[in-house]
Amino acid sequence: MSYIRTEIHSGDGRDGVGEIILDRPRALNALDQTMIDDMHAILEQWGDDDTIETVLVTSASDRAFCAGGDIRAIREHVLAGETAEVTKYFSSEYRLNQLIAEYPKAYISLIDGPAMGGGLGISVHGEVRIVTEKATIAMPETAIGFIPDVGSTYFLPRLPQGVGMWLGLTGSRIGGMDAVAIGLATHFVPSAELGTVADGIRKGAPLREVLADHRDPVSTDMELKKIAQYFDDDNAVAIVGGLRGAVGDEWAAQMLEQLASASPTSLAVTANLIGEGAVSSLAECLDRELGAAERITAHHDFAEGVRAVLVDKDRNPSFSPATVDEVDLQVAARIAGLR
C-alpha cells in the first residue's frame, strides 16, 4: 500500500502544478520505504514533464506534515540483523533529499503541523517552505540514540550562530515564526488562510501574488544570544561544560536537562557531524551521514533509545556510556566517519 497520493492541477491554462499528498495519518506521515521510493519516482517523472512547472507537497491530515522516518521499522531491522535493509532505507532517503535539493522546478512545502527529522528532509531542501502557527520544527534524534540526518548536518551549521548545534543536540522544538526567523522556513501564513494560499498555488498563480498579504515581519522569542554563547562549538563535552558553569542561569539549566535525556554517544557524534558539515557540500554531508547512520544504529543506544521513546514509551532509556564525559571521543569520531 502506498501512502503517497498525487494530483495534477492545470490551473488557468498555465503550466501545471503537481501535488504530492502525504497520506499516512496514523503514523503522522512517517516515511516508510515505500513512501520514499514512490516520492522519488514521482519527482523524477515530473522533473522531465514539460507540462509541470511546480511541485507542491502537502499533508492529507491536519495532525502533521511529516513526523520523520519510520524509525521503529529500522529498529526491527537492526534487532533482526538485517543491516542491508537499514542501509537501503537510509540511502534511499538521502538520495531523495539530494534530488529535492537539485530539483529543476519550483518545489513548495506547506507545513501546518509537526515537521521533524525526515519531514525536514523533504521540505528544507526545497525552494519554498511555508509554515503556520501550528508548525512544529525539530530534529529530535539524539533522544533515541540516533543522529540528525537527511542532510541536516549541512543545513544546521548554516543557521545563525550556534542555532544549528543547539537544535541538533537538544532536539528543541520551534514554531513556525521562529523557523522563518532563522531560515528553516521561507514564509509564514496563518493556518486559517493556508487553504486559500494552497488553492492559489494549485491554480498556477505567481507565488508573490499568492503571498502578497503575508509580508509582515516575523519575530522570534528564541534566546539567540544565549544559544550563540553556549552552543557555538563542535565539541559536546565543551558545550555541556559551559552550561554546567552557568550557575544561576535557568535557561542553561533547562538545556542541561534536555541534554541529559539524550544519548551521550549521539551527542558526541552529532557535534562532530555538524562541525564537519559547516565546511562540506550537501552531497558530502549525506554521504557522511549514511556511514554514521549505519554505524550508530548498530550501537546499543539506538535500539534502547527507540524502545524507550517510541516502543515502550517509558521515557527511561538506559544509555551506555551514561554521561557525555564518559564517551570515548575517538569512538565518536569513528562513528561520525572522521577517523
User: Are residues 175 and 267 located together in one domain of the fold?
Assistant: no
* 152-186 confidence digits (pLDDT tens): 999 999 999 999 999 999 999 999 999 999 999 99
Query: Could you say which of 32, 93, 141, 178 is catalytic?
Result: 141
Question: Does 217 map to a domain?
Answer: no
Question: In the chain, which ranges are E strands?
Answer: 4-9, 16-22, 52-59, 106-111, 114-116, 128-131, 136-138, 174-175, 187-188
The percent of residues in the chain predicted with pLDDT above 90, rounded, is 94
Query: Could you say which of 16, 18, 117, 118 is catalytic?
Result: 118
**Does residue 11 carry a pLDDT above 70?**
no
Report the half-sphere exposure of 234 (CA within 13 A, side-chain side).
Answer: 14
Task: Give the confidence band of 216 by pLDDT, cuts at 50, 70, 90.
Answer: low
Q: Name the residue among 157, 55, 135 with its Cα closest to residue 102.
A: 55
pLDDT at 322: 97
Active site residue 69: yes
User: Are residues 163 and 253 located together in one domain of the fold?
Assistant: no
**Does residue 53 carry a pLDDT above 80?**
yes
Active site residue 18: no
Q: Which of 2-16, 86-100, 126-140, 179-193 has the lowest mean pLDDT?
A: 2-16
**Does residue 15 carry a pLDDT above 90?**
no
pLDDT at 213: 81
Structural domain ending residue among the three candidates 160, 177, 210? 210
Question: Does 218 map to a domain?
Answer: no
User: Are residues 20 and 164 located together in one domain of the fold?
Assistant: yes
Question: Does 293 map to a domain?
Answer: yes
Question: Does 48 map to a domain?
Answer: yes
pLDDT at 167: 98
Question: Does 215 map to a domain?
Answer: no
CATH number of 162's domain: 3.90.226.10
Query: Could you say which of 16, 68, 69, 175 is catalytic?
Result: 69
pLDDT at 14: 60
User: Are residues 178 and 320 located together in one domain of the fold?
Assistant: no
* 177-214 confidence digits (pLDDT tens): 999 999 999 999 999 999 999 999 999 999 999 998 87
Question: Does 324 map to a domain?
Answer: yes
Exposed/middle/buried for residue 102 (C-beta within 10 Å: 0-12, 13-18, 19+): exposed
User: Are residues 136 and 243 located together in one domain of the fold?
Assistant: no
pLDDT at 215: 65
Query: Could you say which of 70, 149, 289, 304 is catalytic?
Result: 149
* 89-115 confidence digits (pLDDT tens): 999 999 999 999 999 999 999 999 999
**Does residue 268 carry a pLDDT above 70?**
yes
Mean pLDDT of 244-269: 97
User: Are residues 243 and 185 located together in one domain of the fold?
Assistant: no
32 or 11: whose pLDDT is higher? Answer: 32
**Does residue 312 carry a pLDDT above 60?**
yes
Range of the domain at 44: 4-144+151-210
Mean pLDDT of 41-59: 97
Beta bridge partners of 68: none
**Does residue 13 carry a pLDDT above 60?**
no
Report the half-sphere exposure of 126 (CA within 13 A, side-chain side).
Answer: 24
User: Are residues 156 and 262 located together in one domain of the fold?
Assistant: no
Average pLDDT over all residues of the chain: 96
Question: Does 256 map to a domain?
Answer: yes
**Integer Cα distance of 113 and 212 in angstroms:** 23
User: Are residues 248 and 179 located together in one domain of the fold?
Assistant: no
pLDDT at 328: 97
Question: Does 219 map to a domain?
Answer: no
User: Are residues 286 and 168 located together in one domain of the fold?
Assistant: no
Active site residue 19: no
The number of domains in the chain is: 2
Q: Which of 182-186, 202-206, 217-221, 330-334 has the lowest mean pLDDT?
A: 217-221
User: Are residues 62 and 13 located together in one domain of the fold?
Assistant: yes
User: Are residues 162 and 31 located together in one domain of the fold?
Assistant: yes
User: Are residues 138 and 13 located together in one domain of the fold?
Assistant: yes
